Amino acid sequence: MRIRSLALLTTAAVLATMTACVPTSEETRPEQRPSVSKEEVTPIETPDEAPEVSIVDSSPGGAKDSDPLWQGLAEAGQSKSEAYLKVYVHTANPTVPDSGEATVTADTPDSVSVTVDAENVDAEKSPFLLIQGTFTVEEIGGSAYTLTTKDSDDIPELDPKGPDDEARCTADDAQERISLAAQDLADDPDKREDFRQQWGGSPQVWWGIQKTAISLNKEGGVAGDFLTEACGEYLQQ
């Protein structure tokens, strides 16, 4: 069954998880969470040849304290170490030149900007751009970095295992499962790494979960349409 609208799920299912109790004339009883099966998680084993700074993720953009891409670049730049990136960035300008350099910046205000060889940027999932490769990192400003390519090899052992975006978005329980993940991440941001391992195999959905969780925490419970956008190409028209 294809989902009809993740905007509806964001309003309905997330509100259901946020409601702690349902008052009755006799008592106050807990609100029952939507029932979904437990997520299967395959541990990620880092190969010896992987750089110490390795970021396989979807960047939510925005401030450094919520963006693993920015944090990883800052660490690599400060320590003068190499960084392996396989990072999706949602951008308002998904055009990538055929040659030369490309500057990738998330469409969230106050995001980090990354200048990198255009051949290391994949626009197949536009407006999500994939930066991939191993790089040396130079900080050129408070929120800007230039990457110099060492190699473009993939390190598949670092990829989170799990369903891809299409499978996530078209699952029978997609509405409940994705919204619950967003609300649970909003409730406990310290468990982000656990969620990345569960959801990172579907990078667009993982971006939507993060953006929704951040929005719920910062904007008084406004979920936004991030999950709808993440699954847009799979929605039934």
Q: Which of 166, 233, 167, 195 is nearest to 39 (CA)?
A: 195
Note down pLDDT in tens along the chain; length 237 residues: 343 445 444 444 444 444 443 444 444 444 566 667 777 778 898 999 999 999 999 999 999 999 999 999 999 999 999 999 999 999 998 999 999 999 999 999 999 999 999 999 999 999 999 999 999 999 998 899 999 999 999 999 999 999 999 999 999 999 899 999 999 999 999 999 999 999 999 999 999 999 999 999 886 666 578 989 999 989 764
Cβ count near 29 (within 10 Å): 10
Task: Report the distance separating Cα 197 and Cα 155, nearest Å.
Answer: 16
Q: Which of 147, 71, 143, 141 is nearest to 105 (CA)?
A: 143
Cβ(201)–Cβ(159) below 8 Å = yes
User: Whole-prediction pTM value?
Assistant: 0.86
* Nearest 10 degrees: Cα torsion 176, 178, 184, 189: -170
